[in-house]
Structure 1
């Protein structure tokens, strides 16, 4: 069990720490004015959406403000979003999440999701049509209004030379969902056929890296199956582009907390493409099945765009309300989804009562301890009894030190007689491991935990404890490396773990005894880089465990009489020596034995 815990810790943080510190990292790509590919968009593949740069020369790489001023725009104003739609191509290429800041600083700027073509961090979404008379990707659309708000939808229109009228009816809710109703009106005498498409395109991979416990990059749910394996940026570049067919579904690009996802018409077939192009360009797109537009009539299809924070309850709401299959899987829960999601919901429920996620974590710890109380009670009862029989076991080891099979037999007989289960302490630990890892994933990937304060100096439960005595709690202008930046919570974790071990029976094996003596201080350093919320959970759990152990020790106190004296001779006592005749207490000689 010790090896399992240590190996888990090494897997969780070892590779990340080593790779960040000792292996060179690829420099972030910087767009230059000499590179026309600085605008996202890739050459259109067979069955793919038209690429964003297939028919239009991209803007030269420039500052974002210059790129934003290069074309007319439709302003986006909602309680949670701020930005604009580029009327040159009807691109969603300027979007900020105004309820999420980039850092904890009071004046920190809002988190930016989309940037226009030509900016160094270009990233945008776009919808359109393919077919005879369809608008090119750089078409200049006319807007019915200057502002898009939750209460004022806007219609974009473009008329082709052959008379077809293309319209995009844009609407946005109060959170992060855009609805794009694509309509084609055909006033001519000939029928037309077009295909709707959508794309999300970006330059570079962003600031976050894909990892074993976190998926960053293209993903989607197509054909009812989550498509994420082999779809990160590096895999696409190494293994080649991928395509899938589906009826409905969704696809997009994800980061730890943010998501840009295309939601096609759920009633129509489509072909989805995941593409990595030269010059660090990436695109996900779909091409819908042909849509017939009769002469003198019209046809339409409804698409949606999710662009915002991956709030769990909001994703669940959109999934149920609009029938978006498995949209909640955009959150990278990983292997322990079946445990991590319920733990998140419990935390969210507790947060509604406490208003503080730190208190919610403490409440979760208490609930877990209550649920595991019967198992833990058996564990502590067995450990208390182990303390009582420890002297007998030591006597058995001394007596049968040269006869290992006999020693095992006698120890099993002692366990059976005293009703002690030496393995009872393993089950609570085994049950706690998936709960602990699920809480770790919740703190890592849930947007709701980002920048959530606890008390005093802990301003972000999803980040490590920032207060460390190594720089005299911030008085020295030096930030220690993460592995040795022992915050207050990791120190408390190590101390409570040490106190907990003091109440356990000491291991009889000297090697085990040394290992257990080192473990609390080792885990103090191992847990230092982890989220403060995880450190808080473990520390509170240790405190509750100490209380339960203390209660069981009072219930099963050490006997006043040395156990060896009461132990059966066959189990622990050495062979008695022959009695010797001793003078009686009154000084008389002992009587001779009768013949």
Structure 2
């Protein structure tokens, strides 16, 4: 019947969406980047100079031991500033680890030049007719440590009357502020041009997704640029933007390094692949003319850390234009942000993200209750009139148009809307997608445990009968590693379908209903356990709600028929 086909179509469309996700948006397992030949680095800086090439590969420990450094010590960051070049090139994220092992190291975001995964940021000046500091310049430090309470001032004089000053401060999050000042004590005027740059020797090791931008990005003239990736820079060369405010940087799945001009400053921003290897983003400000006896200042800010929504929103409120766009929310940002904020609030209340997802499921079912009530009342009515439908089908099996007319007449008499089952399913799709995207892009969900074997809700369920729940010493391929949650999803979906009115005429419909739960079980196996948990709990609530509403509907019908008989 046509109305049942509509219900099946909604379910099949949902499955197609899921199949598309599993094919085009594969789940990503975070790994350490592969070792590559070291590259000292990434030439073609705005200043036109670069640090000397290392004769031999260096480890991070060797690089850190080579020169003068000032430690960075904040609640979220540990590392150091290299006094040679005034580079921020040693930075680890204290509360984010590579994996969940007790001895796992903190994520290293920035590494010194000449190391295999070199990645650093610096600010400086270019100039004509005046010597400016460069990558080999050794700066004088005012303090032995940089903390949120204790800024660091770096100074250097060129010997011809010009003094360059960088005062670096850092907050309790991931934002560095560099106040730059040039004092001209010489006899003639000078012209200098401030710049800032971030450079990395390798592209990100995270897997690419159609729904999540990775690589070079920025915000230019109040619009986020997601269309340029590493391949674009390799094939098309430098990408240039002129903007006021905004920022430019590199975004990974969970991490961001962004250089940010001063408020209201007009700059030319560049993204480029460097011929010697690696990638660079930078911006160059307008030239500054400094007369003898005068000084001029400017500001650069550097975000280097995890893309935690709390900090991104805070910095956006503090004037960093659209830095929250570093999280690629996609077209449904207006819907996904509230879902994430609700999840985070529930997590703060419950202390467990798995419990928060379960609470979210209850809230969604509560909001959809009026619609679900109509749906299940209609489905209960369909179950009750199955014998009447069967009689009509037998009577008019040779006259399909008349059969449709009589069925519609019966639906009208019984006050049943067979298509009511489609709406709740369709309304669930955007909620399901929002949760999928939140689990995919939010670092807050990374490595969050639930209970028992579910120790990372952003990863697939690891416990699978394929290897006898870990008793066999091998890891099966993801496409057959069907975990406990996907199995529960299939079973609960099957039970839910069993409660629905069964299609009576079309054997294809019966086959779809029969195999769909098990197809979805396989499709959902590689997805995040948090997403599987949401769906399983939603199915269980649907089954309970459906049985209760069926019971209540049957009682109402019995009471109505009894009253009619008395009357």
TM-score by length of 1: 0.88
Residue in structure 2 matched with residue 550 of structure 1 by the alignment? 547
Equivalent-residue separation in structure 2 for 1:479 and 1:361 (angstroms): 28
SS in 1 for 2:331: helix
1:186-224 per-residue CA deviation (whole Å, 9 max, x = no partner) reads 122323221111111101113113220211101111100
Partner of 1:575: none
Larger Rg: 1
Confirm whether residue 4 of structure 1 aligns to residue 16 of structure 2. Answer: no
Superposed counterparts of 1:149-548, under 5 Å: 149-229=147-227, 231-321=228-318, 323-508=319-504, 509-548=506-545
Q: Who is 2:146 aligned against?
A: 148
Contact 1:357 1:452 in 2 (8 A): yes
**Displacement, 1:64?**
1.6
Larger RCO (CA within 8 A; separation ≥ 6)? 2
In the alignment, the residues of structure 1 paired with residue 28 and residue 340 of structure 2 have an alpha-carbon distance, to the nearest angstrom, of 30
Structure 1: how far apart are the matches of 2:170 and 2:372? 51
Match of 2:42 in 1: 41
1:572 maps to: none
Question: Cα deviations across residues 409-455 of structure 1 (Å, max 9, x unaligned)?
Answer: 11111111111111111111111111101100101110111111111
Q: CA RMSD in A?
A: 2.1
Counterpart in 2 of 1:577?
none
Instruction: Kindly indicate whether the alpha-carbon contact (under 8 Å) linking 1:59 and 1:117 is maintained by their aligned counterparts in 2.
Output: no
**Relative to 1, partners in 2 of residues 1:396 and 1:180: Cα closer, same or farther, differing over 3 Å?**
same
SS in 2 for 1:518: helix
Q: Which residue of 2 aligns with 1:101?
A: 97
Q: Deviations over 1:376-398 (max 9, x none)?
A: 11111111111112222222222
Q: Secondary structure at the match of 1:456?
A: coil
User: 1:133-185 CA deviation, whole Å, 9 max, x = no partner?
Assistant: 22223221111122111111111111123211001101111221111001111
Partner of 2:76: 80
Gaps of 5+ in 2: 1-9
Residues 102 and 135 of structure 1: is their aligned pair in 2 closer, same or farther, counting only changes over 3 Å?
same
Secondary structure of 1:273's counterpart equals: strand
- Aligned partners of 2:259 and 2:303 also within 8 Å: yes
CA contact (8 A) 1:246 1:271 kept: yes
The separation in 2 between residues aligned to 1:397 and 1:276, in whole angstroms, is: 69
Q: Tell me if the contact between 2:170 and 2:177 (Cα under 8 Å) persists in the aligned partners.
A: yes
Structure 2 counterpart of 1:573: none
Contact 1:124 1:200 in 2 (8 A): yes
Shift of 1:279: 4.5
Preserved contact between residue 269 and residue 288 of structure 1 (Cα < 8 Å): yes
The offset of 1:16, in angstroms, is 5.5
Aligned 8 A contact 1:383 1:425 in 2: yes
Corresponding residue for residue 23 of structure 2: 14
- Count of aligned positions: 545
Q: Is the 8 A contact 2:178 2:300 kept in 1?
A: yes
1:147 aligned counterpart, secondary structure: coil
Deviation at 1:354, TM superposition (A): 0.5
Cα distance in structure 2, aligned partners of 1:174 and 1:485: 42
The separation in 1 between residues aligned to 2:166 and 2:28, in whole angstroms, is 47
Residue 122 (structure 2) aligns with = 126
CA contact (8 A) 2:90 2:110 kept: yes
Unaligned runs of 5+ residues in structure 1 are: 21-26, 33-37, 567-595
Verify the 8 A CA contact 1:93 1:114 in the aligned structure 2.
yes
Which whole-Å CA distance do the structure 1 matches of 2:67 and 2:226 have between them?
Answer: 35
Change (3 A) 1:51 1:406: farther
Write the deviation string for residues 281-339 of structure 1: whole angstroms up to 9, x where unpaired. 11110001122323212111111111111110111011102x01111111121222111
* SS of alignment partner, residue 13 of structure 2: helix
What TM-score, normalized to structure 2?
0.92
| 2:7 equivalent in structure 1 | none
The 1:521–1:51 alpha-carbon spacing in structure 2 relative to 1, beyond 3 Å, is farther
